Amino acid sequence: MSTERTLVLIKPDGVARGLTGNILARIEAKGYVLVELKKVNATTEQLAAHYAEHEGKPFYQPLVDFMSSGPIVAAIFEGQRVIEGFRSLAGATEPTTAAPGTIRGDLGRDWGEKVQKNLVHGSDSAESAEREIGIWFA
């Protein structure tokens, strides 16, 4: 089985709360290898490309506004089944119902805002990973 790569974004809420080290440590503790890492302020172009499939949906603009509200940490991780493994480690999208032991389950919660602040993003397929890595690590 070949290794694969995935994009992980630590969203502005995770960075602002000082959780970057904790989140990266959890991924490394799982056995995945950190390939590249950088802290960025997302551009309008990056966010439009990253969330292109959601353009026109009611949550699109609040999501773009949130993702541009502060720095993001972008990382490429590598390993066997890393895409599936990270998504399991991240937990359910909704932090309130994410299982204990997951990043979102242990560290996330509902903040009562228009946009869901759920700490992390991870690619959902090899195709998405390739596309997303190209956006954030051009």
**Residue 132, CB-side half-sphere exposure with 13 Å CA sphere:** 22
**What tokens were used for 98?**
């994410």
DSSP 57: S
Length of the chain measured in residues: 138
The answer to whether residue 54 is catalytic is no
Q: Which of 14, 89, 121, 123 is catalytic?
A: 121
Say if residue 1's pLDDT is above 70. no
pTM for this prediction: 0.95
**What tokens were used for 102?**
């997951």
51-109 confidence digits (pLDDT tens): 999 999 999 999 999 999 999 999 999 999 999 999 999 999 999 999 999 999 999 99
Structural domains for the chain: 4-136 (3.30.70.141)
